[in-house]
Amino acid sequence: MRLAVLKERRAFETRVSATPETVKKLIGLGLTVAVESGAGQGASISDADYEAAGAEIVHDSATALHDAQIVFAVQAPDLQERAQIMRGAMLVCTANAFADPELIPSLAQSGIDTVAMEMLPRITRAQSMDVLSSQANLAGYRAVIEGAGAFERGFPMMMTAAGTIPPARVFVIGAGVAGLQAIATARRLGAIVSATDVRPAAKEEIRSLGGTYVGVDDEESAAQKGAYAKEMSDAFRQKQADLMTTTIAKNDLVICTALVMGRKAPVIVTAAMVEGMKAGSVIVDIAAEAGGNCALTEPGSSIVTPNGVRILGWSNWPGRIAVAASNLYARNLLTFLTTFWNKETGAPVLPESDDIVKGVLLTRGGAVVHPQFLPSQAA
C-alpha cells in the first residue's frame, strides 16, 4: 500500500504532514511512502532526510498520488490535487470543514474518504492524536514570544543601578490550550499575567499557572461545559465588554485566543478598547484566521494603530514554529493511522461505530457521512 505526503501550497503554510521519524514508522507498518520533493522545506527537512528514512522522493503531486491509497496533508489539497487522488483513497488532513461549504461535497463527488483531524472528539482515547491541542499549544507559546519581541520594553522586572524596570503586564483572552500555554510562557518570562474565559473550569487552571482570573461570573457563564466555549448572549457580551475595557487599558500585551468551533471568532477587543491602550502596547491575535478577537486585526499582517498600538494578526500561528509543529502534527497522524491499522490485512480499518471515526470521517464511498455536514443539515 502506497502513502503520499504532499507539499503544502496554501499561503502561510510551512508545516509538513510527515517527518523522517514518522516515515520510518509508516514503512514499518508495511507502507511504501512517497514524499513530494520540497515538502519538508518549510520545516527544515530536506529531501535527503526523507530518503535516509526510506521514503521515495517524487518531483510532483501527480506522481506522489499515483496509486496512493492513503494521502497525508496538513491542509486539504486544492482542486487540482484532489483530481489526482484515486477514488477510494483515504485523505487525512485538517479540512477546515466549516469554513468551505463547497469542499465536503466536492470530496464526496471525487470518491475520496476524508478524515478531518480537527473534528476529533475530546475523549481520552483521542488525546494522542489531537491536532488542535498540539498545534494550539505551540501557537500560544509563539504568540507570547512574538509579542515580547514586538514589545519595546522589558518583560521581567529588572533592578539596575540606573533604576528599576517594572515587569510587563500581560492579559490573555481565552484559557483553552493556546491560552494556558500563553499564560505559562508569559509567566516564565517574568510578566504579571491575568486571563479571562467564559468557562468556570478555567478559573483554577489560570490560577494554577500563576495567573489572575478576570471574568464575568453569572448563570450563563456557569452553564458553560466541556472543552469548547459556546457562543454567548448579547447581555453577557455587554458585561464582558465593560470589564474588558478597564482591564485591557491596564495591560501592556493582550493575547487573543478565543475561538468558537465552527463559527467566526467573537470580537472581544473593540476599536474603542484599543484606543484606550498605551502607546507601545501590543495585541497578538491568534484568532486572526477566524476573523480575529480584535476589531482592528488585519488577518495575515502586522499593523500599528494611530495611537501607537501594534496588532499582530498573522495567519497560521503554528506554522510560525514549523519544525516543532510539523513534528507534533506528524505524530498525531501516525497515531491515528496506527490506532486503526489492521496488521492482518495491512490496511487501515475505520469502523462506523467507533466514536473517533464518527467524529472525524466526513466522506466515505462517494457520500457525505458526517451528520453535521449532511445535505439535509446544510439546507
C-alpha closest to that of 270 among 280, 256, 252, 260: 256
**Rounded-to-integer distance, Cα 82 and Cα 85, Å:** 5
Please choose, from the candidates 45, 143, 94, the residue with its C-alpha nearest in 3D space to the C-alpha of residue 332: 94
Q: What amino acid occupies position 336?
A: F
Return d(Cα 224, Cα 138) in angstroms, integer: 25
Residue 286 DSSP symbol: G
- Amino acid symbol at 340: F
Residues 6+ apart with CB under 8 A from 41: none
| DSSP state letters, 71-99 | EEEEE---HHHHTTSPTT-EEEEE--TTT
Q: What's the Rg (C-alpha) of the chain?
A: 22
Residues designated as active site? 122, 127, 130, 133, 228
Angle, in degrees to the nearest 10, between helices 20-28 and 322-339:
10
37-54 in b/e form (b: 16+ CB < 10 A) is bebbebbebebebbeebe
Helix count and strand count (H, E) for the chain: 14, 19
> With contact defined as beta carbons under 8 Å apart, do 142 and 320 qualify?
yes
Q: Distance from CA of residue 137 to its chain's centroid?
A: 8
Cβ pair 30, 1 in contact under 8 A: yes
Cell of 241: 465588554
Do residues 36 and 60 lie in contact, with contact meaning Cβ atoms separated by under 8 Å? yes
Residue 345 identity = T
Closest listed residue to residue 134, CA positions, set 204, 98, 209, 126: 126
CB 92 within 8 A of CB 329: no
